[in-house]
Amino acid sequence: MDVIDQALPELSLPGRGTTRALRCRVLQSPLAGVSDQIFRSLVRRWAPDALLFTEMVNATSLELGHGLQKIDELANEAGPIGVQLFDHRPEAMADAAQRAEAAGAFLIDINMGCPVRKIARKGGGSGLIRDPQLAAKIVSTVAAAVKIPVTVKTRLGWCGSDAKPIEWCQSLEQAGAQMLTLHARTREQGFKGSADWHAIAAVKSALQIPVIANGDVKSDMDAKRCLAITGADGVMVGRGSLGAPWLVGQIDAALSGRPVPATPGAAERLTIAREQLEALVQAKGEHGLLIARKHMGWTCSGFPGASKLRHALMRAPTPTDAISLLEQASAELITAWPEATNA
């Protein structure tokens, strides 16, 4: 049996006195506007031991009293949750990291890969790739401020012509990063083109710390091929989990040699969509419907009438209307497509 079909040992990150052990080698990527506590609770159903992350937290905003909920809600979660921070000011990042550690963060992850222009042009996210000295200063300052592990999520480089991923990643390791998640695209690529898994392999061979491969992992077969090519210590799932909170658990099961949970059928997807909608409305009031629309659009797919349902859900004026549409779709499925209830 291939090694990646066997149970993998825990991945130990010593921190600066507080050791963390990753029992699951499949991580759920932090996704802005997506990976809130409600989404994470869904992922947990299939992946109870996976390392999940908060949405990105701006250290400056946290300093001003904004975004506190993303930190404070850690106390109510089961399983390991990393807090991902971004900013260009080392001391602000250190202060935010200390706040997150006190709130129960499993580890601190520094975002050096977000390609969004408004973040990068202010020196945060992937903007730090263009200032490796500042990037190293942020890592060393944050690592010295907390006892839990500090990790970094980044990309191969700013653009293809100047990308030097090995040198870039070595500088982060030397600054004190204890694990690196590498998205195998440059900032210039954004999410276009194919992820260069061979570039991750080159970085992995040059580093001593664990490397997590990210980019184009959308199935258990993708994960196995990615690990075979990169030699990475694990994989991170990003956009593949949109509307599919079960994906992390499926990949973990496949890599560990356990039976892979079945992909939810139409009826179960409708139930998940309703649960997520109701939870968002309860947490955020009417605004929860606006957030839920994108989730419902991703989740309600792959069955007869899905396109028509999504069109109607995007235009539902109230949560009650949206729930009625989901209930009606469920009843129609049972009548017209009975096997959907057992899919």
Give me the catalytic one of 24, 114, 226, 300: 114
CA distances from 262 to 87, 187, 224, 306 (A): 40, 35, 18, 20
Quick check: helix, strand or coil at residue 30? coil
Active site residue 226: no
What is the DSSP track for 128-148? GGG-HHHHHHHHHHHHHH-SS
Please name the residue ranges forming H helices in 30-187. Answer: 37-46, 59-63, 68-72, 90-103, 117-120, 132-145, 165-175
The C-alpha atoms of residue 39 and residue 299 are separated, in whole angstroms, by 12
160-162-165-167 Cα dihedral, nearest 10 degrees? 170
- Give the tokens for residue 293: 């629309």
Collect all residues with Cβ–Cβ distance below 8 Å to 53 and sequence separation of at least 6: 27, 28, 29, 30, 35, 81, 82, 83, 84, 109
Could you give the angle at the alpha carbon of 76 between the alpha carbons of 236 and 93, nearest 5°?
60
Question: With helix as H, strand as E and coil as C, how does 180-235 read?
Answer: EEEECCCCCCCCCCCCCHHHHHHHHHHCCCCEEEECCCCCHHHHHHHHHHHCCCEE
For CA atoms 271, 246, 48, 196, the dihedral sign is negative
Under 8 Å between Cβ of 96 and 110: no
Question: Whose structure tokens read 């969509």?
Answer: 273
Mind telling me the catalytic residues?
114
